[in-house]
Amino acid sequence: MEKFITQAILETYLKEFLEHTEVDVAICGAGPSGLLCGYYLAKNKVKVVVFERHLKIGGGMPGGGIMFNKIVFQKEVLPILDELGIDYNHYKDNLYVANSIETISALTYKAVKQGVKIFNLLSVEDVVIREKKICGVVLNWTAVEQAKLHVDPLAVLAKYVVDATGHDCEVAKIVEKKLGWVSVKGEQSMWAEVGEDKLIENTKEVCPGLIVCGMAANAFFGSPRMGAIFGGMFLSGKKAAEIIIARLAK
Ligand code: 48H
């Protein structure tokens, strides 16, 4: 039996990975913005894969605010929460509160069922380029990254790459450092209303083939952080998907 357990895992994992060595969209990071982006892309029949550095999925959601596992949303986002089956309570004014664990579970479940393929424990360490376009990601095991081993990476080709790596805006920083195609300003200190508004405006294609979304978008354009409110992250992920769907339709 043991050898069949081994074979089952290796064969099914490798089959899935092989089927995703060339995709429409590669999303870097499985936080709220990356997962939302993946969900709406897959819902529109786009072939999408998410690569997540960590063992867990959800980015900054599980910790809520300073480890109190609640997150806050604005009224505009309630239709998305309803679509995903996430419960919430009205707190005051425009603000609603949800359990972060339920939010991650429902979002991940819906994304996966919609067809998003998520590979955890893989870090994006570089991009693939052709002429002046980003057209894929370069990957290595997180364990290799953490152990600082000299092990060469593998690459996955994609028509579009989404930087949903959060505060560190890692993919755009790689493009800035290695290619000089973009300039990353770095996020500003907290101002929730402005940060949330700017997040949507900042969600865009920043050089051919690379879209920034979520906290990475505010870090890219030098806009403020907003604390443990997640409406902007959800709307940013959705907007990134809409941008890509429009581009792919051309
Ligand atoms: C693979 C990577 C890599 C890499 C990072 O931080 P996240 O939750 O990002 P967002 O933008 O979807 O959500 C931001 C939100 O969680 C947050 O931090 C808020 C609202 N902060 C406000 C404030 O004021 O502090 O998720 C990013 C994910 C993480 O899971 C990382 O592990 C992953 O991306 N990641 N995955 N390759 N190179 N870099």
233 Cβ neighbours under 8 A, 6+ residues apart: 31, 32, 33, 36, 199, 214, 215
Extract the runs of DSSP E, i.e. beta strands, from the chain.
22-28, 48-52, 70-74, 89-92, 95-99, 117-120, 122-130, 133-141, 154-163, 204-207, 210-212
Using pLDDT thresholds of 50, 70 and 90, give the confidence band for residue 32: very high
Per DSSP, the residues of 76-134 read GGHHHHHHHT---EEEETTEEEEEHHHHHHHHHHHHHHHT-EEEESEEEEEEEEETTEE
What's the pLDDT at 85?
98
Number of residues that this document lists for the chain: 250
What Rg value do the Cα atoms of the chain yield, rounded?
Answer: 18
CA of 1 to the centre of ligand 1 (A): 39
CA of 37 to the centre of ligand 1 (A): 13
- Ligand 1, residue 61: give the atom nearest the CA: 16
CA of 168 to the centre of ligand 1 (A): 8
Q: Give the residue, by CA position, lying nearest to ligand 1 atom 9.
A: 166
Using pLDDT thresholds of 50, 70 and 90, give the confidence band for residue 250: confident
Residue 69: C-alpha distances to residues 50, 60, 63, 65, 77 (Å): 24, 10, 5, 7, 19
CA of 132 to the centre of ligand 1 (A): 27
What's the pLDDT at 48?
98
Of 77, 215, 218, 235, best ligand 1 pocket probe by most atoms within 8 Å of the beta carbon:
215
Domains of the chain: 19-249 (3.50.50.60)
The answer, as to whether pTM is greater than 0.85, is yes
**What integer is the mean pLDDT of 48-73?**
97
